[in-house]
Amino acid sequence: MTTNRQVLIEEMPKDRLTLSHFRVIEAPMPDPGAGEVLCKTRYLSLDPANRAWMQGATYRSALENGQVMSGFTLAEVVSSQDPAFKAGDLVECDGGWQQYFTKPGRALTRRDPRTPLSHLVSVLGVTGRTAHYGMASLGQPKAGETVVVSAAAGATGSIAGQIAKLAGARVVGIAGGAAKCARLVDEFGFDAAIDYKAENLFTALKRECPAGIDLYFDNVGGTTLEAVLFRMNLRGRIICCGVVSQYDTGQPAPGPRGVPGLIVTKRLTMRGFILGDEPELVSLADRELTTWLDQGQLIVAEDILDGLETAPGGLIGLLAGENFGKRMVRVS
Amino acid sequence: MTTNRQVLIEEMPKDRLTLSHFRVIEAPMPDPGAGEVLCKTRYLSLDPANRAWMQGATYRSALENGQVMSGFTLAEVVSSQDPAFKAGDLVECDGGWQQYFTKPGRALTRRDPRTPLSHLVSVLGVTGRTAHYGMASLGQPKAGETVVVSAAAGATGSIAGQIAKLAGARVVGIAGGAAKCARLVDEFGFDAAIDYKAENLFTALKRECPAGIDLYFDNVGGTTLEAVLFRMNLRGRIICCGVVSQYDTGQPAPGPRGVPGLIVTKRLTMRGFILGDEPELVSLADRELTTWLDQGQLIVAEDILDGLETAPGGLIGLLAGENFGKRMVRVS
């Protein structure tokens, strides 16, 4: 009988995340109890939020030393003691960084198969849905508006920017490196891209957003948010999706200068959100994303690593921004 | 013929504001031209925003060395070359720190006399209207909610807190000093008050807001905002009215840590505003404030200094928090 490979949290990071914070082990195969479902991980989603979960309790409880690392998974049912599921079913849940796991049926959400299967983790997964929920439902970009997206080459940002383009907005992406910026414009249809590593963000935003910024989709926080705040138009909207600049540290930096001074004088609205508070908006996201995808109106970038043991290094690299689009691990 | 006493900006402050940044002079009486109105200042409003105007252009152009200090005034028409105004009319405008000024009629807003006249500068003036606009129209406190107001003993905060009480909320004020805190509870009907100078704000907020904070009316920004952010409830609202902790400095401090991290995880909304964007809401403020005042449902705190020459020291003291309620100067 086969064993179950798992990645444990060896020790919670106090500052930057390194490989030494993880340990790969071979555990016995889990044994499903009454009402439980045995699942085989197909894809493991790597997300910047994985690191944020290590900073303490947020919208979920904090992680702890010695536990299997948490992570969102697309999995296949191997055997089931819950009549609602049968072998071969495709499900999603927080299965963690392991090859096999058991869950009560109520913890699983069924997904319809799709080709490629990875789209259920990227554009039709948490990040794509988050992009739609934040950009389309909350941000509501309008034709002629200027929209800026940070971490624009990431899984969420690359979809969020395209959604704003579909609404007729001028879309400017912020990303690290010339290659990412070139792809954003040439392949993904952004109107402009700013390489924050290569030039002064204040100057670049002035050049690329001559009419100011009406809507900012913030994935990074920190000094990027600060620079954008100065260029926001009166009554501009800021959708706070994530703060990736502050995740991989034990001591988050102070917030940007001028918050909330600029919020007052520019009459800005900043709104934070987490996917899932409004289930009907998640359904709307699925419907619209699927339609756009089927009509060829969305380009999906995926960055797929192979094998569970690539997960620790994959997450560390993700936090360093080495991916373009959705990073995930093909486990089986 | 009498002369016109004026307070000029001698030199723009680079850091803390001091008396040496102002100069009092005797100028010739202004001579109204065609269409202009000669006005005599009755009351000069002192506001923390006066100091913010010195930091650069915001919602108004920046002040400059050598000019008469700007300030909101309640004035009486002495003579008029605009048929819309006649001697004895009561008007309000940015008349500046001087005894007499001329303005084109279009720059003046007529006010109906009221006893005491000072109420037109406090509860029925910019600060009272701001409190209503921000708290009632934007914040929309509800019965049973917990509302926190910072700078609660100030002109805006003392009214904003009472408006939330009228809506049935539990209201906690943050102010500096035991005397202010006692008055907030004993005279102004706040449910609790926290002396931020005497105790740890995180601890005190936890004690006084056992059910968390649903609505925060922020007058101060900085570390106070930071402490409140940690205690906000899911989907809480923050109304950003001012940032008085950051006005009297040449180098505003970085924003609070955890902005916008906490905005994301708690799905908060932060909304900045400036009185006047929506004239119908200012009219609503006037109507409701007048009604509450006439019904004895609002207590008004005024801190009136006498003589134009008290204005510089009065503003410096205001920034240091030595006032309770609306600070103004009775000029004539």
CA distance B234 to chain A (A): 9
CB-nearest partner of B59 from A240, A259, A265: A265
Look at strands A90-93 and A73-80 and give their pairing: antiparallel
In the predicted model, what is the mean pLDDT of residues B195-211? 97
| CA atoms in the 13 A half-sphere facing the CB of B276 | 9
What region, left, alpha or beta, does residue B148 occupy, with left being phi > 0 and alpha being psi -120 to 50 degrees? beta
Give B139-187 pLDDT, tens digit per residue: 999 999 999 999 999 999 999 999 999 999 999 999 999 999 999 999 9
Quick check: B39 contacting A, CB < 8 Å? no
If we measure between CA atoms, which residue out of A51, A111, A44, A53 comes closest to residue A77? Answer: A111
Contact A260 B255 (CB under 8 A): yes
If we measure between CA atoms, which residue out of A28, A44, A32 comes closest to residue A102? Answer: A32
Q: Strand, coil or helix: what is A109?
A: strand
Q: Strand, coil or helix: what is A251?
A: coil
Give A134-178 pLDDT, tens digit per residue: 999 999 999 999 999 999 999 999 999 999 999 999 999 999 999
As a whole number of angstroms, the distance between CA B330 and CA B332 comes to: 6
pLDDT for position B214: 97
Look at strands B22-27 and B4-9 and give their pairing: antiparallel
Quick check: A274 contacting B, CB < 8 Å? yes
Q: Which residues of B touch A242 (CB under 8 A)?
A: 264
pLDDT for position B1: 55
Q: Which residues of A touch B258 (CB under 8 A)?
A: 252, 255
Summary mean pLDDT of chain B: 94
Domains present along chain B, CATH in parentheses: 4-122+302-330 (3.90.180.10), 126-272 (3.40.50.720)
Mutation target for A interface from B55, B58, B262, B264: give the one with most A CBs within 10 A: B264
Contact A243 B260 (CB under 8 A): yes
- Would you say residue B5 has pLDDT above 60? yes
Quick check: A263 contacting B, CB < 8 Å? yes
CA distance B297 to chain A (A): 29
Contact A246 B269 (CB under 8 A): no
- Would you say residue B290 has pLDDT above 60? yes
The string of DSSP codes covering B74-116 is EEEEEEESSTT--TT-EEEE---SBSEEEEEGGG-EE----SS
If we measure between CA atoms, which residue out of A169, A130, A166 comes closest to residue A148? Answer: A169
pLDDT for position A1: 55
CA distance A237 to chain B (A): 9
Contact B260 A266 (CB under 8 A): no
Quick check: B60 contacting A, CB < 8 Å? no
CB-nearest partner of A257 from B255, B268, B277: B255
Number of H helices, E strands in chain B: 9, 15
Quick check: A277 contacting B, CB < 8 Å? yes
Contact B264 A274 (CB under 8 A): yes
In the predicted model, what is the mean pLDDT of residues B252-263? 83
